[in-house]
Amino acid sequence: TAVAVEAVVASTVDSVLAQRKDQERRYQKQRRKNQHQQEKLHRSNSDRATDTVDFSAAEPSRAEATIRQKRRFRRLRKAATITSALALVAWVPVVLAAFGVEIPYYSEIPMVSAVVQSVLQAAACGVGWSVFSLAVSNLVRGRVTCHLAVALCNIVTLLDTATAPLFVNRLAAASLGGISMVALALDLWGECWHAGALKEGFRLVALGRPAYVVDLTENGAVKQSGPADGFYNRTVREDEAMGWQSLLLPVILVASVVFGALASFGQGQRSNFLWCWSAILTAGTALSLPFTYSLPYFRLAKRLGKSGCAVAGFYGARQLSYSREILVGDEDLFPAGTMKMAGMKLIAEDRRKVAAYAGSLARVYGGTWPGLLEAFMQAEGATQQRLEEFHVHEEGGVSAIIRGETVILGIANLIRKMSIRLPKSLEWKDGLFLAVDGELVAIFGVVYEPADSVSWALGAMRRNRLSPLLATRDPNLQPKFLRAYFGSDGGSTLLDLEERLMLTERPRRKQILRPNALLYREGLAPFLEAVAGSRRLCRAVTAANLITLFACILGTLLAFYLMFVGRASMLTPPQLLLFLGLWMLPVLLLAWNTDRI
């Protein structure tokens, strides 16, 4: 019988050991897999997290930059409103004629209509002189921009409108000055939106030193304390849309002249040159050219401004858009005031000793524990103890030798791992346990109060395909815990203990990051909005730019084709405006969706 009992015990022990070895193998395999994925993500981020542009140039004062953009925004808004009103007046006769309503003298005498339209367009050009000024200044620097295309459209259509009654053999086609005026008004609105976005960002910077600076590092998007130096230079840097337009627009402008000459002089109808050129030029100047970047940026800047954050223009947004991960710490998930001490159950020892041991371990470990236990230590009049052989455990907690006693502070998982007996019924399952020399001496109840903003941020990460990398010190803050408290973990990944400790070390967190975005508020929500908004801005601008440039190319070729086959009569102002407006619609939808984080 004794042999049988020994055999049963031996087999039981062997099975338990085998089970533990199997669990250990699975754990190590999963750990290696996670480490491989993290290294792959870090390599991808580090390849992109390079800043090769020099932003060390002197910057204007923050108050001066804010005032300048505020004045510019007001001036452009006024000019855009007046130009829009003039364009609307110019389109009134066209709309009335489409419904069969004739205006005395205007509809009967071509000279009268030409003079009225020329005066209206000249007035619009006078109000929108800033577009012509921008076109000339950029051209002097060797840059062909959308401002030059809009300015050239207005000049050519104005010349065609003014000289139309003087050419007897001119094609009986309406002038396209009304469309050029619409393009001029939209150009002014585009500059107005850009000034408004800059004003919103500089307004925040003028408040003083930001709470955090956001940058892309090898660990994904990271926020840390730092100065805002360089934010202005990053913000005013040329955007991607303007860069691509400066490459394609010279070709389109030259093609409009060549195609206009072929459609007029090439067919022996030189009196039609101005109209042919203006028609091809107008059809090839998409109405969305001036605001493919400024409108999405304006909407995003307004959204971020309400949340207390700002992105450093397209350059800063492009840097942050490379990130697929956000480094999340304890304070992001549970800001100050959302973790409280629910109570304490003293099992052995005296309160002052328990307070001294628990507070000393928590202070050295860091994270959210000091805020919970240091107040208890001060209330009991305890002092900081000297720690020897301090160690952080993978299972969730810390241990050290204090006054010759082995002290452990951690969650229930660590206490069980150390073969320390726990009460059968635990009142606080997410609490902290303090053990001295293998005996449980105290239980600290911790209450986690999830914030609505954090719940929204974790859900928004899923929608924006961003993954939080948990660099937390509180061992309770794991994906399973987040799903239980917030309803979603945002697709989070818990980093290895060694990496978490390294990333949350106080000396390391003092490194200076590049100000690609600034945060003036605490919490995970502003951080997520800055990173997700940057990704949405870059996607919107890239897609809108492709659509706009394709519309320019198609419009130029289509207008020339209709002239070449003798169907120039189809290029009427209403039909051409409808064509350009349909291509503008997807750009507006992309801009509208930019701030829907």
Q: Say how far apart CA 246 and CA 140 lie, in whole Å.
A: 13
Query: What is the structure's pLDDT at 513?
Result: 83
Query: What is the structure's pLDDT at 376?
Result: 82
- Give phi and psi for 89, each to the nearest 5: -65, -40
Under the banding of pLDDT at 50, 70 and 90, the label for residue 137 is very high
Judged against a pLDDT cut of 60, whether residue 38 lies above it is answered with no
Q: Identify which of 563, 527, 72, 23 has the alpha carbon closest to the alpha carbon of residue 304.
A: 527
- In the structure encoding, which two tokens stand for residue 460, read together? 């928004």
Report H helices in 464-572. 479-486, 497-503, 524-564
Under the banding of pLDDT at 50, 70 and 90, the label for residue 511 is low
Question: Out of 68-77, 80-89, 231-240, which region has the weakest mean confidence (pLDDT)?
Answer: 231-240
Judged against a pLDDT cut of 60, whether residue 43 lies above it is answered with no
Q: Say how far apart CA 442 and CA 434 lie, in whole Å.
A: 5
Judged against a pLDDT cut of 70, whether residue 42 lies above it is answered with no
Judged against a pLDDT cut of 50, whether residue 530 lies above it is answered with yes
Query: What is the structure's pLDDT at 515?
Result: 92
Q: Are 573 and 279 in contact (CB under 8 A)?
A: no
Q: What is the average pLDDT value for the chain, to the nearest integer?
A: 86
Judged against a pLDDT cut of 60, whether residue 508 lies above it is answered with no
- Angle, helix 524-564 to helix 273-283, in steps of 10 degrees: 150
State pLDDT tens for residues 532-564: 999 999 999 999 999 999 999 999 999 999 988
Segment 259-288 shows an average pLDDT of 90
- Angle, helix 524-564 to helix 240-264, in steps of 10 degrees: 10
Query: What is the structure's pLDDT at 16?
Result: 41
Query: What is the structure's pLDDT at 352?
Result: 87
The tokens 């200044």 sit on which residue?
137
State pLDDT tens for residues 328-351: 988 899 887 788 887 788 887 788
State pLDDT tens for residues 379-428: 888 888 889 889 998 888 999 999 889 999 988 888 888 888 887 776 66
State pLDDT tens for residues 429-477: 778 889 998 888 888 888 888 888 999 999 999 899 999 999 988 888 8
For the stretch 214-227, what's the b/e string if a residue is b when 16 or more beta carbons lie within 10 angstroms of its beta carbon?
Answer: bbbbebbbbbbebe
What three-state secondary structure class fits 491?
Answer: coil
Q: Identify which of 333, 100, 287 has the alpha carbon closest to the alpha carbon of residue 178.
A: 287
- In the structure encoding, which two tokens stand for residue 596, read together? 């829907």
Percent of the chain beyond pLDDT 70?
90
Question: Out of 14-23, 157-166, 374-383, 481-490, which region has the weakest mean confidence (pLDDT)?
Answer: 14-23
State pLDDT tens for residues 220-240: 899 988 888 889 999 999 888
Neighbours of 506 (CB within 10 A): 7
Query: What is the structure's pLDDT at 545?
Result: 95
Segment 135-155 shows an average pLDDT of 93
Query: What is the structure's pLDDT at 17?
Result: 47
Query: What is the structure's pLDDT at 138?
Result: 92
Judged against a pLDDT cut of 50, whether residue 9 lies above it is answered with no
Under the banding of pLDDT at 50, 70 and 90, the label for residue 502 is confident
Query: What is the structure's pLDDT at 1?
Result: 46
Query: What is the structure's pLDDT at 13?
Result: 44
Rg (CA), the chain: 34
Range picked from 110-119, 163-172, 583-592 for highest mean pLDDT: 583-592
Q: Are 520 and 544 in contact (CB under 8 A)?
A: no
pTM score, whole prediction = 0.86
Range picked from 26-30, 145-149, 271-275, 563-567 for highest mean pLDDT: 145-149
Cα 335 to Cα 209, 309, 362, 494: the distances in Å are 20, 17, 17, 19
Segment 75-81 shows an average pLDDT of 96
Under the banding of pLDDT at 50, 70 and 90, the label for residue 506 is low
Q: Say how far apart CA 176 and CA 577 lie, in whole Å.
A: 9
Q: Say how far apart CA 432 and CA 279 lie, in whole Å.
A: 76
